């Protein structure tokens, strides 16, 4: 009952968000929302950008790279120098180079993988400038790339795909900042902390036990962490910390916030290309993966673990270890599934303690390319790359040169879409292979056997997908994992984004082909099924062997899956 | 909608090709040889998928020499066979083309040509010496030495060598039938031909190199598909190579041979092996329909066509307009009209003219009118647009409405509104009105009717289901055109068509994102043929038309445009179907090989052995054998093309996904299990 009501409430809120936030996003990017144009203009002047001048895909991509590289340098600088900068209440030292590199890349690539415990590593200034600011900008970059690709489909014979600086400025000031601001106030109302004051120390009079409880500007980070599908928590415990996620209501609101943009962008896309049904189809495909993940994880976590059943002589024991005990198993699973499937990676329960199948759900969502519904922007552009591959194969089967939304899919498009789809599996597999082959990598996992393998695999997969969720159990804060993780995150982010922008340029330059009865319908149930099939097959074919050595071997060692 | 109605010419076509079968013995022999000669690295590297298999085979050979066992040797042998099977598939497809090319080559002339210079002096030169612009004389019994244009004379020519049609055709100077093809035989009379193509560049030469596949270039879609297949190959290399380190991390051992086997099973070898065969066979199917395409690109474009421009006469209608009715004016007896009509047509040898004589005879028994000495026949001319007879001062004429009206007025006659009423009535039924005039008095109207071909309406309905719009092109007036268009079931028509208007129509369709196909034969069709995405020139047409189009129909049958579109579609569908099949196959192969790889280390993984294969070695070998054999099994399908029924995109997709997607998922489970059972039965494992 609780489950059904939660899901129903979620569906209603997200449905409204899909329709109205989606439509609003389109208006923002098409320049029809102007109420803050005085701020906008000041930004453009500061950046020296002519808001009317559009960019070719190359120029768009160059701006995006320059912006990201500068951002990484900026974050890296702050983290290294934090000891000498203001707002260092706890007198923390500078962040070591490898960790600062990993963290800077992590936040700029919207991964938010954290090889550190925030409360004991980062000053308030680092948290705000090096970790919160990128949560806005990296989300904006992802959304901008998705919008640029949408423009590729909606335009014809166009040399340009929009202006990068205008796109990120608009989405930040019209969407990310206002929503995060209002939501932060709600979170504060519920009990999330937001303060510059020093940590408090309390003493339990009964036991004489002393405890220092760190505080900080938490609520402001918390909401953009979810809304921008970032996931980098203030505290090491992330969403499981009551100062980050104080009540059941904020837990629900978190789920809504992290799903809102990825879901709504499908409407934005549909509106931009003037085919809302296609947007709906993409949403349905994403929803399919989401609910399958949620269902499987719920069943797996609700079921008593075989080991515990044996220990308790068949008494039904729920696998409560590592769960958010305030909200119960389902709400824990919902939060973690929503978070891992959107590439947010914030958690309120420990994935490492999940059953093998429950853990594999989080892993599976990433291995399928993060389209369920994936991160802000990245979910949309990745599923569109998959759709292009699907259209190509399916389109041939109707006897025509494949076309998608009026654009012919030829050698160039299929090449770029293939790169976008396949770069992640290749990066993840190669990096994991390196990690299991070198002593520094082998030293990482806490567990032996298949579970230890899963710990390494998860860490690399999470970073390769810019997800940032942690399986736990891996000592990630080593020079080896910090450096390789940074490289993997960069490749997983820009190795996809650049081909996507190139794809946008190539599509925008093409004419729009007329549609006839002989054209493949890309908004049908059949096409949706094929899209699901292609995503599953590409993911399964790439990762079946590694999964069989990790979670599958572990799960089957009990002789059964659940 | 499901009934496959064949066009009237389809049956005769099948007879022509029925004897060939898919593969004959001689071709097989050559293809077997080709399977080995194609092992050359230069050939292999062109196909990224099969290149990986070849490299894997070499690695596997090295490994099995290092540590020989029945298992490694048999896996290696089957990997090698996979490469050979792929070569064989391509060789078979090429072989069929070569056989046709050889037939063509045998008719290339080696006899001398009779060249004449400006003064008419004849010299015998070898064909090789002929240059463009030379003039040669050909008389009955001579083989025309090279492609050319008749500048003088008329002759009957046997073109059966290239068209397969035994009936001789008439070729004459001037007009649209002046082109002759090198290698064809003059049966009667004498013609002077201006050479338009030198040796090595003639139509026949082009045709030979095309069917041989010598000048075959990858088409845009083939390139795109090759890229996708390369991508699907590249991804599996890290998948299997990294498996080596993952396995050693998990303290499991995997042999290199098994990893190579896994790679080969996973990369899309089925489609990779058959891709070029599919392309060659598509071209070949066109040739069997007696259509020559100048490039594979044109064949692919044919599959994409969304608008067909079809000439009314000969394509939609039989093209012989017959007199059907007489409509007299008020105050004129129908018999009087018939009499005058017959009189005006007595000396008219056109089919229309003769049909008027016949109709008058059938209706009123008017016969025996003979041309007297004082009868002077006035033939039809494009200028007067009338024909008839002068008997002394009496002028009897029949002709186009406007022409006859003007003629009547010029001779002091009156034109009542009824004239237009009658002609419009005829036009609105799809007929062509001919006015009959005696002196300056208009007697009435003859209705000429064209017959729409049998079954053409159903074909258009199929085309519509496939999303192809048909546009009828006719010189008729809009009213007549509308009536015939309705009767034939075309989607639209262009009446009073001129080459310029045809061109405008093509440009406007293309601007709307449509791909246009058309047929044409005249020199004035050439610009439109060149502009259209698929331009099919009639072989009987002028060289200008043939140069402009990207296909030539040797049978000069405009209805074939529809077949061409179907062949183009079939080609693309075959590629898509086999790609889907190939990818879907991987699932079963994983279930065969992955548990086999690691079951020794993680016994729990035997739950993944859902096919209950006998042992790890038999599982791997069965998958490899299945992977190789499926190539051979699918060669006929690649050559023939998947079955194609005209239907909507959704329908086609559903059908092909069920057969090749779902089928491709299930079939290897059965196939691998069967092979495993056989291996166990033969006690090899």
Q: Does A326 touch chain B (CB under 8 A)?
A: no
A549 vs B240: CB contact, 8 Å cut-off?
Answer: no
Q: Is the pLDDT of residue B216 over 70?
A: no
pLDDT band of B20, cuts 50, 70, 90: very low
The CATH code that applies to domain B131-198 is 2.70.150.10
A380 DSSP assignment: H
Residue A282 and residue A380 in contact, taking contact as beta carbons nearer than 8 Å = yes
pLDDT band of B685, cuts 50, 70, 90: low
In a domain, A57, yes or no: yes
Q: Does B72 touch chain A (CB under 8 A)?
A: no
Ligand-binding annotation for B352, yes or no, is yes
Residue B8 and residue B317 in contact, taking contact as beta carbons nearer than 8 Å = no
pLDDT band of A444, cuts 50, 70, 90: confident
In a domain, A261, yes or no: no
Which of these, A239, A235, A238, A471, lies nearest to A353 by C-alpha position? Answer: A471
Structure confidence by residue, pLDDT tens digits, B161-202: 666 666 677 888 776 677 888 878 888 888 888 888 877 777
pLDDT band of B6, cuts 50, 70, 90: very low
Confidence at residue B215, expressed as pLDDT on a 0 to 100 scale: 56
Name which residue leads in pLDDT, B3 or A84: A84
At residue A29's C-alpha, the angle toward residues A28 and A32, to 5°, is 50
- Distance, CA of A187 to CA of A164 (rounded, Å): 32
Which of these, A43, A126, A113, A130, lies nearest to A87 by C-alpha position? Answer: A126
Domain B318-451 has CATH 3.40.1110.10: yes
Mean pLDDT value of segment B252-260: 88
SS3 A202: strand
Confidence at residue A264, expressed as pLDDT on a 0 to 100 scale: 96
Q: Does A525 touch chain B (CB under 8 A)?
A: no
- Distance, CA of A562 to CA of A558 (rounded, Å): 9
Start-to-end CA distance of chain A, whole Å, equals 23
Ligand-binding annotation for B384, yes or no, is yes
* Catalytic pick among B311, B450, B553, B563: B311
Q: Is the pLDDT of residue B12 over 60?
A: no
Confidence at residue A345, expressed as pLDDT on a 0 to 100 scale: 82
| Residue in B586, B644, B654 closest to A541 by CB | B586
B224 vs A450: CB contact, 8 Å cut-off?
Answer: no
- Distance, CA of A467 to CA of A479 (rounded, Å): 21
Q: Is the pLDDT of residue A284 over 50?
A: yes
Q: Is the pLDDT of residue A560 over 60?
A: no
Structure confidence by residue, pLDDT tens digits, A291-318: 999 999 998 888 877 666 777 776 666 7
Q: Does A27 touch chain B (CB under 8 A)?
A: no
Percent of chain A with pLDDT over 90: 57
Q: Is the pLDDT of residue B3 over 80?
A: no
As a whole number, the mean pLDDT across chain A is 90
pLDDT band of A56, cuts 50, 70, 90: very high
Residue A82 and residue A94 in contact, taking contact as beta carbons nearer than 8 Å = yes
Count of CB atoms within 10 A of residue B429's CB?
17
Confidence at residue B16, expressed as pLDDT on a 0 to 100 scale: 39
| Residue in B465, B573, B586 closest to A396 by CB | B573
Residue A83 sits at φ, ψ, to 5 deg, of -60, -30
Instruction: Decide if B131-198 and B318-451 have a common fold.
Output: no
Q: Which residues from chain B sit within 8 angstroms of residue A397, using beta carbons? A: 573, 576-577, 580, 652-653, 656-657, 660
A553 vs B469: CB contact, 8 Å cut-off?
Answer: no
Residue recorded with tokens 């009317």? A52
ipTM over 0.95: no
Confidence at residue B157, expressed as pLDDT on a 0 to 100 scale: 85
Confidence at residue B13, expressed as pLDDT on a 0 to 100 scale: 38
Confidence at residue B477, expressed as pLDDT on a 0 to 100 scale: 79
In a domain, A175, yes or no: yes
Mean pLDDT value of segment B212-237: 84
Q: What is the DSSP string of B655-669?
A: HHIIIIIIHHHHHHH
Q: Which residues from chain B sit within 8 angstroms of residue A556, using beta carbons? A: 602, 604-605, 607-608
Ligand-binding annotation for B480, yes or no, is no
Q: Residue A166 is part of which domain span?
A: 3-247
Q: Is B563 a catalytic residue?
A: no
Chain B residues 562-581 with CB within 8 Å of chain A: 568-570, 572-573, 575-577, 579-580
In a domain, A418, yes or no: no
Alpha carbon dihedral B218, B221, B226, B228, in 10-degree steps, equals: 170
SS3 B135: strand
Name which residue leads in pLDDT, A311 or B385: B385
Q: Is the pLDDT of residue B147 over 80?
A: yes
Per the structure, the count of domains in chain A is: 1
A15: which residues sit within 8 A by CB, 6+ positions away? none
In a domain, A323, yes or no: no
Confidence at residue B371, expressed as pLDDT on a 0 to 100 scale: 62
Ligand-binding annotation for B382, yes or no, is yes
As a whole number, the mean pLDDT across chain B is 83
Q: Which residues from chain B sit within 8 angstroms of residue A524, using beta carbons? A: 650
Confidence at residue A559, expressed as pLDDT on a 0 to 100 scale: 46
Q: Could you tell me the CA-to-CA distances from B197 to A85, B116, B180, B267 in Å, in that order? A: 84, 17, 11, 47
Confidence at residue B43, expressed as pLDDT on a 0 to 100 scale: 82
Structure confidence by residue, pLDDT tens digits, B357-369: 888 888 887 765 6
In a domain, A300, yes or no: no
Structure confidence by residue, pLDDT tens digits, A208-243: 888 888 888 888 888 999 999 988 888 888 888 888
Alpha carbon dihedral B419, B422, B424, B426, in 10-degree steps, equals: -140
Confidence at residue A17, expressed as pLDDT on a 0 to 100 scale: 95
Percent of chain A with pLDDT over 70: 98
Query: In terms of CA atoms, which chain A residue is nearest residue B303?
Result: A400
Report the phi/psi class of residue B473: left, alpha or beta, with left for phi > 0 and alpha for psi in -120 to 50: beta
Confidence at residue A530, expressed as pLDDT on a 0 to 100 scale: 93
Reported pTM: 0.85
Q: Which residues from chain A sit within 8 angstroms of residue B644, using beta carbons? A: 399
Percent of chain B with pLDDT over 90: 22
B78: which residues sit within 8 A by CB, 6+ positions away? B621, B624, B625, B627, B628
Mean pLDDT value of segment B81-105: 84
Mean pLDDT value of segment B270-279: 91
Name which residue leads in pLDDT, A376 or B208: A376
Ligand-binding annotation for B380, yes or no, is yes
Name which residue leads in pLDDT, B364 or B55: B55
Residue A264 and residue A22 in contact, taking contact as beta carbons nearer than 8 Å = yes
Q: Where are the domains of chain B?
A: 25-98+211-286+566-612+626-647, 131-198, 291-316+453-554, 318-451
Q: Is the pLDDT of residue A403 over 80?
A: yes
For the domain made up of B291-316+453-554, give the CATH fold.
Rossmann fold (3.40.50)
Confidence at residue A267, expressed as pLDDT on a 0 to 100 scale: 97
Q: Is the pLDDT of residue B667 over 50?
A: yes
Name the strand (E) or helix (H) holding B149. strand B148-152
Residue A123 and residue A87 in contact, taking contact as beta carbons nearer than 8 Å = yes
Residue recorded with tokens 């025996």? B368
| Residue in A406, A518, A524 closest to B468 by CB | A518
| Residue in A401, A524, A548 closest to B605 by CB | A548
Structure confidence by residue, pLDDT tens digits, B505-562: 999 888 877 889 988 877 777 888 888 989 998 877 777 788 888 888 887 777 788 8
The greatest distance separating any two alpha carbons of chain B, rounded to the nearest whole angstrom, comes to: 114
Q: Which residues from chain B sit within 8 angstroms of residue A522, using beta carbons? A: none
Q: Is the pLDDT of residue B60 over 80?
A: yes
Confidence at residue B111, expressed as pLDDT on a 0 to 100 scale: 67
Q: Which residues from chain A sit within 8 angstroms of residue B573, using beta carbons? A: 396-399
Q: Does B249 touch chain A (CB under 8 A)?
A: yes
Structure confidence by residue, pLDDT tens digits, A329-366: 888 899 999 999 998 888 888 887 888 788 888 888 89
- Distance, CA of B270 to CA of B660 (rounded, Å): 12
Q: Does A506 touch chain B (CB under 8 A)?
A: no
Confidence at residue B18, expressed as pLDDT on a 0 to 100 scale: 35
């Amino acid at each position: 009952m609780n489950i059904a009501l939660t899901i129903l409430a979620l569906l209603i809120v997200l449905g409204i968000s899909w329709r109205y936030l989606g439509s609003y996003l389109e208006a923002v990017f098409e320049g029809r929302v102007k109420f803050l144009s005085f701020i906008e203009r000041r930004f453009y002047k500061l950046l020296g950008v002519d808001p009317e001048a559009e960019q070719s895909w190359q120029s768009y991509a160059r701006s995006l790279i320059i912006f990201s590289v500068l951002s990484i340098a900026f974050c890296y600088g702050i983290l290294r120098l934090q000891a000498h900068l203001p707002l260092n209440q706890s007198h923390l030292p500078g962040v070591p180079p490898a960790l600062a590199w990993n963290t800077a890349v992590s936040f700029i690539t919207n991964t938010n993988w954290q090889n550190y415990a925030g409360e004991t590593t980062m000053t308030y200034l680092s948290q705000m400038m090096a970790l919160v600011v990128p949560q806005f900008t990296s989300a904006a970059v992802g959304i901008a790339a998705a919008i640029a690709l949408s423009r590729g489909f909606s335009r014809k014979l166009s040399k340009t795909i929009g202006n990068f600086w205008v796109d990120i400025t608009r989405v930040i000031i019209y969407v990310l900042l206002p929503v995060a601001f209002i939501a932060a106030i709600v979170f504060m109302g519920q009990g999330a902390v937001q303060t510059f004051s020093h940590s408090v120390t309390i003493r339990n009079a009964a036991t004489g036990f002393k405890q220092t409880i760190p505080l900080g500007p938490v609520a402001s980070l918390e909401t953009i962490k979810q809304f921008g599908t970032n996931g980098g928590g203030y505290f090491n415990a992330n969403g499981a910390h009551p100062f980050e996620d104080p009540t059941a209501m904020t837990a629900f609101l978190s789920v809504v916030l992290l799903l809102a943009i990825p879901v709504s962008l499908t409407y934005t896309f549909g509106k931009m290309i003037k085919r809302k049904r296609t947007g709906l189809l993409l949403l349905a495909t994403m929803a399919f993966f989401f609910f399958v993940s949620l269902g499987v994880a719920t069943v797996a976590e609700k079921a008593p673990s075989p080991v515990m059943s044996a220990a308790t002589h068949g008494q039904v024991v729920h696998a409560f270890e590592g769960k958010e005990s305030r909200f119960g198993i389902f709400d824990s699973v919902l939060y973690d599934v929503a978070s891992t499937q959107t590439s947010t990676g914030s958690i309120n329960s420990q994935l490492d303690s999940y059953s093998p199948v429950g853990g594999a759900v989080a892993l599976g969502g990433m291995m399928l390319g993060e389209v369920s519904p994936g991160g802000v922007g990245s979910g949309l552009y990745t599923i569109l790359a998959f759709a292009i591959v699907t259209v190509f194969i399916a389109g041939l089967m109707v006897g025509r040169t494949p076309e998608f939304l009026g654009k012919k899919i030829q050698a160039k498009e299929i090449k770029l879409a293939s790169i976008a789809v396949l770069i992640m599996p290749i990066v993840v597999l190669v990096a994991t292979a390196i990690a299991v082959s070198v002593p520094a990598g082998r030293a990482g996992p806490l567990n032996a056997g298949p579970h230890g393998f899963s710990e390494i695999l998860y860490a690399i997969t999470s970073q390769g997908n810019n997800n940032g969720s942690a399986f736990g159990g891996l000592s990630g804060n080593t020079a080896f994992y910090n450096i390789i993780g940074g490289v993997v995150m960069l490749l997983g982010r820009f190795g996809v984004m650049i081909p996507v922008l190139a794809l946008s340029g190539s599509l925008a330059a093409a004419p729009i082909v007329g549609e006839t009865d002989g054209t493949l319908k890309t908004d049908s149930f059949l096409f949706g099924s094929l899209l699901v099939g292609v995503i599953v097959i590409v993911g399964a074919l790439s990762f079946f062997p590694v999964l069989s050595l990790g979670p599958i071997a572990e799960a089957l060692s009990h002789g059964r899956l659940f | 909608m499901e009934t496959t109605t064949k066009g009237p010419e389809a049956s005769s076509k099948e007879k022509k090709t029925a004897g060939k079968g898919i593969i004959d013995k001689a071709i097989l022999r050559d293809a077997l040889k080709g399977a080995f000669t194609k092992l050359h690295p230069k050939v292999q590297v062109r196909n990224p998928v099969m290149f990986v298999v070849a490299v894997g085979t070499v690695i596997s050979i090295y490994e099995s020499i290092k540590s020989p066992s029945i298992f490694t040797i048999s896996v290696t042998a089957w990997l090698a066979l996979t490469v050979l099977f792929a070569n064989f598939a391509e060789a078979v497809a090429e072989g069929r083309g070569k056989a046709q090319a050889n037939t063509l080559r045998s008719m290339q002339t080696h006899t001398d040509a009779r060249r004449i210079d400006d003064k008419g002096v004849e010299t015998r030169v070898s064909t090789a010496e002929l240059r463009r612009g030379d003039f040669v004389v050909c008389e009955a019994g001579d083989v025309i030495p090279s492609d050319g244009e008749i500048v003088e004379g008329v002759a009957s020519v046997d073109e059966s060598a290239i068209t397969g049609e035994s009936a001789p055709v008439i070729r004459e100077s001037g007009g649209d039938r002046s082109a002759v093809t090198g290698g064809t035989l003059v049966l009667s009379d004498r013609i002077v031909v201006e050479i338009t193509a030198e040796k090595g560049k003639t139509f026949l030469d082009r045709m030979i190199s095309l069917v041989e596949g010598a000048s075959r270039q990858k088409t845009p879609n083939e390139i795109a598909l090759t890229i996708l297949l390369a991508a699907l190959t590249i991804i599996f290399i890290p998948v299997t190579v990294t498996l080596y380190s993952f396995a050693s991390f998990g303290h499991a051992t995997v042999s290199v041979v098994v990893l190579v086997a896994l790679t080969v099973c996973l990369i899309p070898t089925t489609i990779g092996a058959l891709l070029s065969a599919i392309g060659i066979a598509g071209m070949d199917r066109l040739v069997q329909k007696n259509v020559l395409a100048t490039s594979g690109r044109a064949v692919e474009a044919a599959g994409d066509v969304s608008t067909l421009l079809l000439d009314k006469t000969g394509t939609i209608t039989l093209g012989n307009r017959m007199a059907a009715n007489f409509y007299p004016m008020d105050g004129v007896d129908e018999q009087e009209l018939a009499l005058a009509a017959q009189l005006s047509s007595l000396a008219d040898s056109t089919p229309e003219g003769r049909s008027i004589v016949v109709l008058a005879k059938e209706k009123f028994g008017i016969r025996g009118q003979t041309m007297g000495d004082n009868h002077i026949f006035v033939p039809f001319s494009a200028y007067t647009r009338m024909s008839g007879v002068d008997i002394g001062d009496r002028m009897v004429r029949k002709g186009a409405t406007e022409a006859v009206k003007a003629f009547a007025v010029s001779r002091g006659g009156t034109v009542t509104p009824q004239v237009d009423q009658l002609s419009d009535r005829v036009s609105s039924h799809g007929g062509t009105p001919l006015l009959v005039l005696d002196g300056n008095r208009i007697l009435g109207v003859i209705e000429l009717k064209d017959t729409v071909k049998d079954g053409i309406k159903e074909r258009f309905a199929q085309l519509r289901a496939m999303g192809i719009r048909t546009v009828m092109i006719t010189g008729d007036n809009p009213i007549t055109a509308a009536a015939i268009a309705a009767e034939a079931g075309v989607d639209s028509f262009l009446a009073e068509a001129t080459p310029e208007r045809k061109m405008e129509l093509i440009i406007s369709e293309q601007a709307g994102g449509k791909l246009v196909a058309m047929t044409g034969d005249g020199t004035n069709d050439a610009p439109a043929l060149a502009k259209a995405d698929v331009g099919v020139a009639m072989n009987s047409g002028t060289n200008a038309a043939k140069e402009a189009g990207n296909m030539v129909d040797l049978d000069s049958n405009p209805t074939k445009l529809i077949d061409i579109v179907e062949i183009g579609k079939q080609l693309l569908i075959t590629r898509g179907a086999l790609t889907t099949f190939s990818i879907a196959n991987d699932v079963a192969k994983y279930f065969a090989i992955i548990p086999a790889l690691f079951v020794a280390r993680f016994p729990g993984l035997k739950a993944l052995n859902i096919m209950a294969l006998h042992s790890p070695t038999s599982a791997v070998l069965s998958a490899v054998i299945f992977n190789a054999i499926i190539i051979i099994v699918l060669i006929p399908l690649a050559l023939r093309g998947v079955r194609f029924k005209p239907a909507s995109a959704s329908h086609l997709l559903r059908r092909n996904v069920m057969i090749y997607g779902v089928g491709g998922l299930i079939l290897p489970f059965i196939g691998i299990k069967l092979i495993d059972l056989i291996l166990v039965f033969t006690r090899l494992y």
